[in-house]
């Protein structure tokens, strides 16, 4: 448990760390990258949210797989915000300028998200709907909080 959480924290705090390799990427690539990363996260969170709400049947194996993937994916979107705000060309970004104005707060939200999905991956191993439902709620709260602060509708 401790190892998972520590790993997540390291990944989350490395947010703005991976600059060198990004030099050739264009503004629109940053936008596409981070949107793709969030889409992949939503793809995996969707069924978990569906199980938590009772919209789809509980499937312990799927829950465990998706939660483990989320723990990996949670560290990925953030490098797509590096060096921004980015001009997406067609205006296709929902990122608020507040991200770059309040980067510490944004990074804090990313770290909290990582912690909660790490916990979700652990809880999913129990194979029980009750605790899963509760932790899916905790993860969803971190999504929502960040969207409220930093994402245009
Ligand atoms: C989802 C999803 C989000 C979050 C958010 C939680 O399933 O795609 O962006 O949950 O709605 O409030």
- Does ligand 1 have an atom closer than 6 angstroms to the CB of 45? yes
Beta carbon of 42 within 6 Å of any ligand 1 atom: yes
What is the pLDDT confidence band of residue 5, given thresholds at 50, 70 and 90? Answer: very low
The CATH number of whichever domain residue 71 belongs to comes to 1.20.120.10
Domain membership flag for residue 78: yes
Residue 99, pLDDT score: 98
Q: Torsions phi, psi of 78, nearest 5?
A: -65, -30
How many C-alpha atoms does 10 have within 13 Å on its Cβ side?
7
Which tens digits make up the pLDDT trace of 27-83?
999 999 999 999 999 999 999 999 999 999 999 999 999 999 999 999 999 999 999
Residue 10 confidence (pLDDT): 47
pLDDT tens sequence across 82-132:
999 998 877 789 999 999 999 999 999 999 999 999 999 999 999 999 999
In the numeric block, which tokens belong to residue 151?
């994402």
Structure confidence at residue 21 (pLDDT)? 56
112 in any annotated domain: yes
Nearest atom in ligand 1 to the alpha carbon of residue 45 is: 7
Q: Is residue 35 part of a domain?
A: yes
Domain total of the chain: 1
Q: Is 46 a pocket residue for ligand 1 (Cβ < 6 Å)?
A: yes
pLDDT at 12: 47
Give a yes or no: residue 118 inside a domain.
yes
Q: Is the pLDDT of residue 2 over 90?
A: no
Residue 126 lies in a domain: yes
Q: Which residue has the tokens 């709907």?
A: 129
User: Is there a domain that residue 91 lies in?
Assistant: yes
Q: Report pTM.
A: 0.86
In a domain, 10, yes or no: no
pLDDT number for residue 20:
52
Query: Are 129 and 51 a contacting pair, CB within 8 Å?
Result: yes
How far, in Å, from the CA of 147 to the mean position of ligand 1?
9
Domain range for 82 is 26-150
The answer, yes or no, to whether residue 145 has pLDDT greater than 80, is yes
The predicted-structure confidence for 7-41, as pLDDT tens digits, reads as follows 444 444 455 455 555 568 899 999 999 999 999 99
Q: Quick one: which atom of ligand 1 is closest to the CA of 42?
A: 8
Q: Is residue 79 part of a domain?
A: yes
Ligand 1 centroid to 133 CA: how many Å?
A: 14
Q: Is-contact 56 133, C-beta < 8 A?
A: no
Task: Specify the ligand 1 atom closest to the Cα of 140.
Answer: 6
How many angstroms does the Cα of residue 97 sit away from the middle of ligand 1? 21
């Amino acid at each position: 448990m401790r190892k998972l959480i520590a790993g997540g924290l390291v990944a989350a705090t490395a947010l703005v760390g991976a600059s060198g390799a990004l030099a050739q990427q264009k503004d629109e690539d940053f936008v596409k990258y981070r949107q793709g990363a969030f889409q992949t996260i939503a793809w995996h969170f969707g069924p978990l949210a569906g199980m938590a709400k009772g919209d789809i049947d509980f499937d312990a194996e799927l829950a465990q797989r998706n939660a483990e993937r989320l723990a990996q994916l949670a560290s990925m979107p953030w490098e797509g915000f590096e060096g921004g705000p980015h001009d997406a060309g067609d205006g296709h970004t929902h990122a608020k300028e507040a991200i770059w104005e309040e980067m510490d707060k944004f990074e804090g939200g990313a770290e909290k998200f990582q912690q909660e999905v790490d916990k979700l991956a652990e809880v999913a191993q129990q194979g029980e709907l009750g605790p899963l439902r509760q932790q899916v709620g905790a993860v969803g709260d971190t999504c929502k909080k960040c969207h409220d602060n930093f994402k245009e509708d």
